[in-house]
A and B are shown apart, each in its own frame.
Chain A
Amino acid sequence: MVMTTVIKVVLYILLAPIIGGLMEGIDRVVSARMQRRQGPPLLQPFYDVYKLLAKQTTVVNSIQVLFVIAYLIFTIFTGSLFFGGGDMLLVFFALSMSEVMMVLAAYSTNGPYSALGANRELLQMMCYEPMILLVAIGFYEANGSFMVNDLVQAANPAIYKIPGMLIGFLFILTIKFRKSPFDMSTSHHAHQEMVKGLTSDISGTNLAFYEIAEWYDEVLMMGIVAMFFIYNNPISIVWALIACVIFYLMETLIDNVFPRVKYMAMLVSSWVVILVSAGTNLLILSVIGK
């Protein structure tokens, strides 16, 4: 039991950056094809991170480094907790903690663009935090446990009972990945008014750490999407993988189709979607549950 957990965690720590980097590469290639260009090589994200690691690091102050490292470590920790089969609520609390570390890294620089990005990132967190907690509750209502280990052994896939939660979660996934309608705090594309937002004053090794943490985070998020489909039948893993691919490509499409919205539109739309889809789902479940 302990051994399998350790193996899972080690596998996650080793494989997640590779998968995450590939996911980002695919995202960039697919985006480029959607814009009818050739696009970068598939391994481009790895080249980027390799370059960043090789470059000199400039910092604005001495504590910035600390927060970025804490962000990386806590993100890995969060993912390990999830893939090691831990408690879903705890996973999400750890997740928001790691995000706060990143926000603090941006705040600490005292740069106008970083501060702007930090405030926007906090707003983004405020948008997706309710949904993320509701997902954990949804799984609990559907399959009676907060532990990931128990949830994967469920008799039925969670999607049967909590489709609303999946809709809400996919909605906030756009916010979490900072894809286009909601790429407020920082963006993969060039944006004039915020430069790079959150990461404006982070460079070199620190930026590489940030990118790697993003990869871990992406894998974790896709893991949560997969949780909606996995049950005690091993074949469900295939379905889960297919679903992950579809939803991930859908995020790429959304990224390319929508222009950015104002922050209040993001807050209102995300909360309304969460309330309507996830809230209704929860209400129905609790009524049926009685």
Chain B
Amino acid sequence: MTISILKAVSFLILFPFVIAVMMFCIRNSSLLRNFVAIVGGFSVMATAIMVGIRVLSMKGTTRNTYLTSTAPHDHIIMGGELLLMAIVIFLSLKYKKYYAILLSMIGTIPVLAMDLSGYAVEGNAHLRVDFLSAVMILIVGIVGILICIYAVGYMKDYHNHHTDVEDRSNYFLALLFVFIGAMFGLIVSDNLGWIYFFWEITSVCSFLLIGYTRTEEAVNNSFRALWMNLLGGCGFAAALLLCNFKFGISNLSQLTAIIPRQNMVVMVPVTLIAFAALTKSAQFPFSRWLLGAMVAPTPSSALLHSATMVKIGVYMLIRLSPMLKGTFTGVMITVIGGFTFFAASLLAITVSDGKKVLAYSTISNLGLITACAGTGTTEGVWAATMLILFHAVSKSLLFQTVGDIENCMHSRDIEDMHGLIIKLPKLAFIMIIGICGMFMAPFGMLVSKWAALKSFVDSNSVWLVLFLVFGSGSTLFYWAKWLGKICTVIHQSYELEDITPKSEMISLIPLTCMIIVMCFAFPKMSDIMIQPILNEAFHKNIPNVIGGSDVIIMMIMVAMIFAIPIGSRLLAIGKKSKMTMSYVAGVNAGDDRHYIDSFGKARPLYMSNWYMTEYFGEDKLLAPSIVISAIIVIVMLIIVCGGAF
């Protein structure tokens, strides 16, 4: 363990790019490709875990800052930025979406000009690995890599089913690894210019991933994702320029060290970065890109939704969180987050496409994280970090399971998952754990939600409390009805062939285990992972957010959840019961799925879930939500920028 953290981190950033290049050179769906992906992936994961453990085992504050003078690196990055701009321009010309060119140039050219003209502030450490970075490295390294490994098996099945799509799976897998590399880069960079570069890589990568199938829908959705993220990128670029010219600082850590009350102008770049974070985290009004991202094959949705893309935004907000406390920007960010949590959870009720429900739930949960980070309190950051951890694991598991179910049943509609527990018992079981992880009592998400609630109450944000409690109600509704569909036992149905390959199980089983282990381990996680982050961000010790006796009770609950099924099996409870058909007013045609109508004929019978589209439908709710939140964002930008100058 004598490898220095710098070396390990450079490996984390560069090696995924190497894997990506290798992927690109290997033949499609060959064994060698699987081998490269699994060995390469696990070596990255091992390194990430090592870095995580080494950093987290440090006491006090971390001072892992590296690379003070970096002329050659800067040249590479400038080249990279030009390359990204060239890719965007080329594809925009190809598909005749010229606005993307404009946005890309607005964002990139001023930054390049600043770098070339020598105005850029030099001489500070460019990399920094602190506790928050370490936690994010663990998430990306474990969850992200598991998704990549899952993708190897998935893409093979995908192209077996979708013969109309050209098999470019090497390119797809390569992009996934590039994405992972860029994520690591973004997390450990401290220099704003570098962050901006990695930020743009993820934007362009997600654009390319979404457009993978090259259908018209995919192209349109990918360009929507591109322009929204580039818009955020423009905001980031503006913040970067401001920091360099106005304040003479080039690093994020320097920016967060300024105390806003002494210098209100500093809130302008902070607000701009927060704005960029909102676009990345798909908050209203920018959520539509995330919904459109579903057209891509499942691994890319899993990656975008759980461990990487959307987490960048909230990661930046957590970094800025200490500055947001009590400021106008902070209030506005929390309002947008709270509103997104509520509106997205209502919208999630109305859709039956499994991936779309997951997408809305992602948006909704990110809204909660955003709101927590926006409060700028210690409890808020505690809850936000916990939510990021639990959300990444549960959501990636759910996406992967939905992908597998789609491969087995050729549908990802929740209504088609009726009776999944009999049709595909293994996947159904994994899915049940995933869904429970998202909303049930002793599991992680709910614990974090609880902490969020406490932090909102303590910070006296009544509106947020209201958003949270009403949002919780609708969250419960859409998850529970999905869970119900899965748990339905249909008579006389039979098991379908489970074609999930082993390589996907390599990813699914560890994630399932992680959800269960994290249930038990969360007090420890709070001590080891979250407390140091708080100490570092707020420079003070805070009392444990969830007290001792509560933890014991929650442990009892978790234990009960697993003990009841096992116990009643052992005690053979219910074995003496007589089996009957379900009650269909006495005209059950024998198998619960047919009834005898008044002409004596058997007719199919099916009870759909409630979607209430006539009340909360996308056509009713989506447009107003976007308009309202857009107004909030514009008001925020105008007031902060106008107030400062």
Contacts and interface: CB of A to CB of B under 8 A. Distances in A.
Contacts of A204: 577
B440 A100 contact: yes
B441 A123 contact: no
A140 B457 contact: yes
Given A57-B574, A66-B568, A119-B481, 13 more contacts: A59-B577, A69-B564, A69-B573, A87-B550, A94-B441, A104-B480, A104-B487, A111-B592, A123-B477, A129-B469, A130-B466, A206-B577, A282-B466
A240 interface: no
Given A90-B550, A108-B488, A126 B582 contact: no
Contacts of B583: 111, 113-114, 195, 200-201
B448 to A, nearest CB: 12
Interface stretch (A39-47, A73-81, A227-235): A73-81
Contact of B607 (A115, A131, A279): A115
B124 interface: no
Contacts of A289: 460
B484 A118 contact: yes
A103 B480 contact: yes
A100 B488 CA distance: 14
Given A70-B564, A81-B553, A137-B465, A119 B582 contact: no
A58 B578 CA distance: 5
Contacts of B380: none
A112 B584 contact: yes
Contact of A141 (B457, B466, B477): B457
A184 to B, nearest CB: 11
The 4 closest A-B pairs by CB, nearest first: A111-B582, A107-B484, A65-B574, A115-B607
Given A87-B553, A118-B484, A60 B580 contact: yes
A24 to B, nearest CB: 24
A97 B480 CA distance: 10
Interface residues of B, number: 62
A118 B549 CA distance: 34
Interface string B559-597: 010001100100001101111111111000000110000
A130 B577 contact: no
B620 to A, nearest CB: 13
A46 B69 CA distance: 82
B42 interface: no
A258 to B, nearest CB: 23
Nearest to A105: B487
A75 B623 CA distance: 41
Most chain A C-beta atoms within 10 Å of own C-beta, residue among B556, B557, B574: B574
A65 B481 CA distance: 19
A200 B577 CA distance: 16
Nearest to A87: B550
Nearest to B349: A126
A125 interface: yes
A97 B484 contact: no
B522 interface: no
Interface in A257-283: 264, 271, 275, 279, 282-283
A122 B480 contact: yes
Nearest to B471: A130
B610 A119 contact: yes
27 contacts: A60-B581, A60-B582, A61-B579, A62-B489, A64-B489, A66-B564, A74-B560, A89-B450, A93-B441, A104-B484, A106-B484, A108-B488, A109-B488, A110-B419, A110-B490, A123-B610, A125-B477, A130-B470, A137-B469, A140-B457, A200-B582, A201-B582, A206-B577, A275-B466, A279-B462, A279-B466, A290-B460
Contacts of A225: none
Nearest to B470: A130
A57 B480 CA distance: 27
A104 B474 CA distance: 17
A57 B576 CA distance: 8
A224 interface: no
A133 interface: yes
B311 to A, nearest CB: 25
B36 interface: no
A246 interface: no
A153 interface: no
Interface string B537-569: 000000000010110011011001000110010
B441 A109 contact: no
A134 interface: yes
Contacts of A141: 457
B513 interface: no
Interface in B171-204: none
B546 to A, nearest CB: 9
A127 interface: yes
B507 to A, nearest CB: 27
Contact of B560 (A59, A67, A73): A73
A100 B483 contact: yes
A147 B38 CA distance: 49
A56 interface: yes
A286 interface: yes
A15 interface: no
Contact of B472 (A56, A129, A264): A129
Interface string A79-105: 001000011011001101100100110
A66 B572 CA distance: 10
Nearest to A268: B615
A73 to B, nearest CB: 6
A65 B584 CA distance: 20
B472 A133 contact: yes
Contacts of A104: 480, 483-484, 487
B499 interface: no
A94 B593 CA distance: 34
B624 interface: no
B477 A126 contact: yes
B432 to A, nearest CB: 10
A210 to B, nearest CB: 14
B446 interface: yes
B485 interface: yes
A60 B421 CA distance: 15
B380 to A, nearest CB: 16
A117 B550 CA distance: 33
B455 to A, nearest CB: 12
Contacts of B462: 279, 282-283, 286
B473 interface: yes
Given A137-B457, A275-B466, A110 B491 contact: yes
Contacts of B446: 93
B457 A126 contact: no
Contacts of A60: 489, 579-582, 592
A64 B474 CA distance: 25
A110 B453 contact: no
Contact of B489 (A56, A63, A93, A286): A63
A116 interface: yes
Contacts of A66: 564-565, 568, 573-574
Interface in B396-455: 419, 421, 440-442, 446, 450, 453-454
B589 to A, nearest CB: 13
Given A69-B573, A97-B440, A89 B453 contact: yes
Contact of A126 (B476, B549, B550): B476
